[in-house]
Amino acid sequence: MKTDVVIIGGGIIGFSTGYHLKLQNPELDILVLEKEKSFAEHQTGHNSGVIHSGIYYKPGSHKAEFSKKGSQSMIDFCKKYKLPFNQCGKIIVATAEEELKKLHELYERGLQNGLSVKLLDAEAVNKIEPYVNTVGGIKVEETAIVDYKKVTKQFKLLFEELGGKVEFNTPVTHIEVSEDNIIVGSHSKKFRAKNIINCAGLYSDKIAQMSGVDTAIQIIPFRGEYYQLNTNAEKYVNTLIYPVPNPDLPFLGVHFTNMIDGGVDVGPNAVLGLKKEAYGKIDFHKNETLEILKFPGLYKMGLKNIKEALGEYYRSFNKKAFVKNAQKLIPSIKNEDIKPIEAGVRAQAMLNDGTLLDDFVFEKGKHSLHVLNAPSPAATCSIEIGKEIAKEYKKL
């Protein structure tokens, strides 16, 4: 099969890219390949549905810029296509005096990023969230909640209306690059394209390597485990409640999230997955597990964060320890108030020296463009990332 562009990956980034590329270049034949039987089966379909404001991210970074623009463009998109969302805002909470310095630094970063943030004392926080343990907090007005699977479905519909094509159950097994084109193979099928765009998430490093890109990045899977509040405990949460994050790690800590379809999620933690799609605690895959465990950056990162890593593993296997961690924010929570739900897996880019890449990463190869780090808040930023890729495509 011949086409102009093959997009690998049918998550929110893949379909946003397909839609925006087709919108800007209606003459292009574009095909999205997805190895699963449907869309948004992995990171897109296993997250807490938050439209992030961008308060955490370094001013001038892709994440900061795309989050600020993306949160508004996502809300506008939902309004236009009548997708449910709720701009409920969130509270970032300091639970001890020693966290106030970091809280104030985060507040200043929010101002630098042009956000509607308000510094609150403990009394003001408790007027919004009466059950929270706090010495102060930040109210972030821009934060909202949505169902990203429904957003992805809308991107897919718009893409197909413009003439875009989709093939499910089509895992990429090999890629051949020549002077004039690039061939993407999937078992007995072959797709000849002028260019490919790699939006493969957890497998984006593998697709880049197949394409001949000598990237220093390896995607390391981190499983995020969630619980859900029982109905009688939902009274403890009115908005979204987050702790002050550790600035050295790209994870936000266990938090409480009102979901757009009802219910309140608690989590996630962050534990190393032993295969790419490690949704179960003891999931492993011979080749993937060996490759992950042989990666030198993993040990360098782990040694620098050994205390945090051990704590995450302990809480993964001990519900009481998980609850104790959640009680730092809401002391009233008890073991019987939460029940486990499906986990998610974060595709986190890492370098050989153990550096966890904090910003989105895009790399070019021959006839190819690769999205090599797009964890949270990529769903928030999906419209802006799609536009950016469409712009970069013209330079291939």
- What is the tens place of the pLDDT at every residue in 63-113? 999 999 999 999 999 999 999 999 999 999 999 999 999 999 999 999 999
**Mean pLDDT, residues 326-348 taken together:** 96
- Give me the sign of the Cα torsion angle 39, 149, 113, 20: positive
pLDDT(189) > 80: yes
pTM greater than 0.85 (yes/no): yes
**Mean pLDDT, residues 329-357 taken together:** 96
Task: Report the chain's mean pLDDT, rounded to a whole number.
Answer: 96
**pLDDT for the residue 252:** 79
Burial 197-235 (b: 16+ CB within 10 A, else e): bbbbbbbbbbbbbbbebebebbbbbbbbbbbbbeeebbe
**pLDDT for the residue 330:** 98
Tell me which long-range contacts 247-250 makes (C-beta under 8 A, separation of at least 24). 247/102, 248/304, 248/305, 249/305, 249/308, 249/356, 250/348, 250/356, 250/358, 250/375
Q: Cβ(130)–Cβ(62) under 8 Å? A: no
